[in-house]
């Protein structure tokens, strides 16, 4: 949640920060603001999107060589000008931006009020800033030392960056539980919540770890831990191109990312899956093959769309590897007292690699002796660093808030892992193994074929855009795809939608069926196909509208359904990677037809780094 950008160096800070905030707006867009050092500290902030802040600042003197910026996803306090970041200290000399939640802010606020401090906002951020200010005012030490003392008292998650009128070329930053990356230029530094604002200026970055404080000047970067011991910065080369975070001629990032999937799936498979040789090479799996093949059980831990990928993987792993699999919501897993033993394998799935609940969940499991395997998209992310081993999805930056290409890339990685383990264990034979490798190899080409039907799906969106409810049904490997289709529609169109196993329809949801209810079946040909036909007939008997994702040349569902979206034939294990594509397009085009902001749906943010 929330996007943070900061700069110090010889450039004009405001244009760098403004461009960075626009690139981070997918992380939050309730309000935005900047603080600039320009013959004194100036703070400008505005409710709404970054463009509204930009318009409000036209004509103002914004000259500054050091500055901080923020785009907000509201936690404490409604979206408003006064709750927008940056927040300012009582003496007016400090300003701070913050991503995270300070859980003990109420106690600190009462203490500060008793000392005479007044608060201009409803935020926990202002409380933390004034707590730092109070410590700084009552100790003879530096601002850095005041930050260190304050953070030892803080409960919660944070990335903070402070700017100080008395030290105009220095930024103080710290993190715990939320991401922070620092780009290293020539006599300049760039700070941000992720690398997208930085890649234009430098490919050399340092990922800040939990409990580290960064003292950043144009020509110097000092890292320390909370014990005031210096830490050697580890410089990483960014594997990201500027074009990857631009729209590239598409109207929206979401549409671009849907259409990128033939490429992103290919990139995920490239160098790993060799269909001609019938081999899969994944260093994270190969180096830990005994641990993985001898797993007592596998627990998939994830949130949202990644949780749906884990559900598909549960079916695939149990089918191919004969290992018991559980799929857990990270937000529930972290607060339970789960029975974890040595020999358990936790597969943590996260697009950003920074999902707060997933991070805490795997830390907890790691303490109890589990082996952690991360499946993430972002190189250098927290989950990637905490895991014992892992595999990157190589999907490239995903800017649209609703995840699309990350889902299919996660599935590609999880399929490859399952195939490797199943073959190594002897639970699938050479013929089945080779067949599924070839099926997976053909997915990018088949996805490209599905995308050719986008105009037909756009027509369906116009037909169903005024519906108030949708029901999504699937069975077997396609049940999680129904869940994902319903989630996409909710996220993008704000239409109520629910996903169910098709057989569960008769245990309640069928009461909703009437003429105005579209029921979307994920009905590609598989072992459940005849059962789904019966379920569809039950909907038709009650005058519901049947919309079906079907395998090409399926005469049965073509006759039953009011409307169809077809995909090429594929093995039933692989079919979810194809069946989800029409559902992504349907959600996109319905949102578009309703005139909504499909890249930034209300109340949502891309990377959920707070509870």
Question: DSSP secondary-structure letter at 86?
Answer: P
Segment among 22-26, 42-46, 434-438 with least mean pLDDT: 22-26
Residues recognised as catalytic: 2, 606
Mention every residue, 6+ apart, whose C-beta is less than 8 A from residue 119: 109, 113, 126, 127, 130
Mean pLDDT in the chain?
Answer: 91
pLDDT digits (tens, 9 = 90+) for 408-423: 999 999 999 999 999 9
pLDDT digits (tens, 9 = 90+) for 468-500: 999 999 999 999 999 999 999 999 999 999 999
pTM of the complete model? 0.82
Number of C-beta neighbours around residue 190 at 10 A: 27
**Does position 88 have pLDDT exceeding 70, yes or no?**
yes
pLDDT digits (tens, 9 = 90+) for 5-16: 999 999 999 999
CB 198 within 8 A of CB 183: yes
Q: What letters, b where the CB count within 10 A reaches 16 and e where it falls short, cover 468-498?
A: eebbbbbbbbbbbbbbbbbbbbbbbbebebb
Q: Quick one: which of 354, 355, 338, 353 has its CA closest to 297?
A: 338
Question: DSSP secondary-structure letter at 93?
Answer: S
**Does position 341 have pLDDT exceeding 90, yes or no?**
no
The domains found in the chain, sorted by start residue, are 3-243 (3.60.20.10), 247-441 (3.40.50.10490), 453-611 (3.40.50.10490)
**Does position 181 have pLDDT exceeding 80, yes or no?**
yes
Residue 21 and residue 70: Cα distance in Å, rounded?
A: 7
Residue 99 and residue 101: Cα distance in Å, rounded?
A: 7
pLDDT at 38 (0 to 100): 84
Phi, psi angles (nearest 5°) of residue 255? -65, -40
Residue 311 and residue 327: Cα distance in Å, rounded?
A: 6
Segment among 69-73, 436-440, 452-456 with least mean pLDDT: 69-73
Kindly state the tokens that stand for 110. Answer: 């009462």
Residue 163 and residue 42: Cα distance in Å, rounded?
A: 11
Rg (CA), the chain: 25
Residue 424 and residue 259: Cα distance in Å, rounded?
A: 35
Starting at the earlier edge strand, list the strands of the sheet with 469-474: 496-501, 469-474, 518-523, 545-551, 563-567
Mention every residue, 6+ apart, whose C-beta is less than 8 A from residue 473: 482, 499, 500, 501, 502, 505, 519, 520, 521, 522, 532, 535
Percent of the chain with pLDDT over 90: 70
Q: Quick one: which of 71, 124, 70 has its CA closest to 97?
A: 70
Confidence of residue 113 (pLDDT cuts 50, 70, 90): very high
**Does position 381 have pLDDT exceeding 90, yes or no?**
no
User: What end-to-end distance do the CA atoms of the chain give, in Å?
Assistant: 10
Mean pLDDT throughout 200-214?
Answer: 92
Between 610 and 266, the higher pLDDT residue: 266
Mean pLDDT throughout 583-591?
Answer: 97
Mean pLDDT throughout 45-66?
Answer: 93
Mention every residue, 6+ apart, whose C-beta is less than 8 A from residue 181: 191, 192, 193, 194, 195, 198, 205, 206, 207, 208, 380
Residue 131 and residue 134: Cα distance in Å, rounded?
A: 5
pLDDT at 244 (0 to 100): 65
Listing DSSP states for 341-355 in one string gives: -TTEEEEEEESSS--
Residue 118 and residue 81: Cα distance in Å, rounded?
A: 17
| Residue 110 burial (C-beta neighbours within 10 Å; 0-12, 13-18, 19+) | exposed
**Does position 433 have pLDDT exceeding 70, yes or no?**
yes
pLDDT digits (tens, 9 = 90+) for 506-532: 788 788 888 889 999 999 998 888 889
CB 557 within 8 A of CB 531: no
Question: DSSP secondary-structure letter at 240?
Answer: -
Mention every residue, 6+ apart, whose C-beta is less than 8 A from residue 104: 153, 154, 155, 156
Distance of CA 404 to the CA centre of its chain: 10
């Amino acid at each position: 949640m929330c996007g943070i950008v900061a700069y110090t160096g010889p450039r004009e800070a405001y244009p760098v920060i403004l461009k960075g905030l626009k690139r981070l707006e997918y992380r939050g867009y309730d309000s935005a603001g900047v603080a600039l050092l320009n013959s004194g500290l100036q703070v400008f902030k505005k409710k709404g999107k970054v463009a509204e802040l930009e318009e409000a600042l036209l004509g103002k003197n914004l000259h500054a060589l050091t500055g901080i910026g923020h785009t907000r996803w509201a936690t404490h306090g409604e979206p408003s000008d006064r709750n927008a970041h940056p927040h300012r200290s009582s003496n007016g000399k400090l300003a701070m931006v913050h991503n995270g939640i300070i859980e003990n802010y109420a106690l600190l606020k009462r203490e500060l009020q008793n000392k005479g401090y007044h608060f201009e906002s409803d935020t926990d951020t202002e409380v933390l800033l004034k707590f730092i200010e109070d410590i700084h005012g009552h100790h003879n030490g530096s601002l850095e030392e005041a930050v260190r003392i304050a953070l030892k008292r803080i409960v919660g998650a944070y990335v903070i960056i402070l700017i100080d009128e008395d030290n105009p070329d220095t930024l103080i930053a710290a993190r715990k539980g939320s991401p922070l990356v620092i780009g290293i230029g020539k006599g300049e530094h760039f700070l941000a919540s992720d690398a997208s604002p930085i890649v234009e200026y430098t490919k050399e970055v340092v990922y800040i770890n939990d409990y580290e404080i960064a003292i950043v000047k144009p020509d110097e970067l000092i890292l320390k831990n909370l014990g005031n011991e210096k830490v050697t910065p580890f410089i990483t080369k960014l594997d990201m191109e500027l074009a990857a975070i631009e729209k590239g001629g598409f109207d929206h990032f979401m549409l671009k990312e849907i259409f990128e999937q033939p490429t992103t799936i290919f990139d995920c498979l490239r160098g790993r899956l060799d269909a001609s040789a019938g081999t899969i090479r994944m260093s994270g799996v190969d180096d830990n093959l005994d641990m993985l093949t001898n797993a007592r059980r596998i627990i998939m831990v994830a949130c949202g769309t990644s949780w749906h990928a884990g559900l598909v993987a549960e079916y695939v792993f149990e089918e191919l590897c004969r290992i018991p699999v559980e799929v857990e919501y990270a937000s529930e897993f972290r607060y339970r007292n789960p029975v974890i033993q040595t020999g358990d394998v936790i597969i943590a799935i996260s697009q950003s690699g920074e999902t707060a609940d997933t991070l805490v969940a795997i830390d907890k499991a790691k303490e109890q002796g589990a082996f952690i395997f991360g499946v993430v998209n972002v190189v250098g992310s927290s989950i990637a660093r905490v895991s014992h081993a892992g595999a990157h999805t190589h999907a490239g930056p995903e800017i649209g808030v609703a995840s699309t290409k990350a889902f299919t890339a996660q599935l590609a990685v999880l399929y490859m892992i399952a195939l490797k383990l199943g073959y190594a264990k002897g639970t699938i034979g050479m013929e089945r193994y080779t067949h599924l490798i070839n099926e997976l190899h053909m997915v990018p080409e088949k996805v490209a074929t599905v995308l050719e039907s986008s105009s037909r799906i756009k027509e369906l969106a116009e037909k169903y855009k005024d519906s108030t409810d949708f029901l999504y049904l699937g069975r077997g490997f396609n049940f999680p795809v129904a869940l994902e289709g319903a989630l996409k529609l909710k996220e993008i169109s704000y239409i109520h939608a629910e996903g169910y196993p098709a057989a569960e329809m008769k245990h309640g949801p069928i009461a909703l069926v009437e003429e105005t209810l579209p029921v979307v079946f994920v009905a590609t040909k598989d072992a459940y196909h005849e059962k789904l036909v019966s379920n569809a007939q039950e909907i038709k008997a009650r005058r519901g509208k049947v919309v079906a994702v079907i395998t090409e040349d399926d005469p049965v569902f073509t006759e039953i359904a009011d409307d169809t979206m077809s995909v090429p034939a594929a093995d039933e294990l692989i079919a979810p990677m194809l069946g989800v594509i029409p559902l992504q397009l349907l959600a996109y085009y319905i949102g578009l037809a309703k005139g909504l902001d499909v890249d930034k749906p209300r109340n949502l943010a891309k990377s959920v780094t707070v509870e």
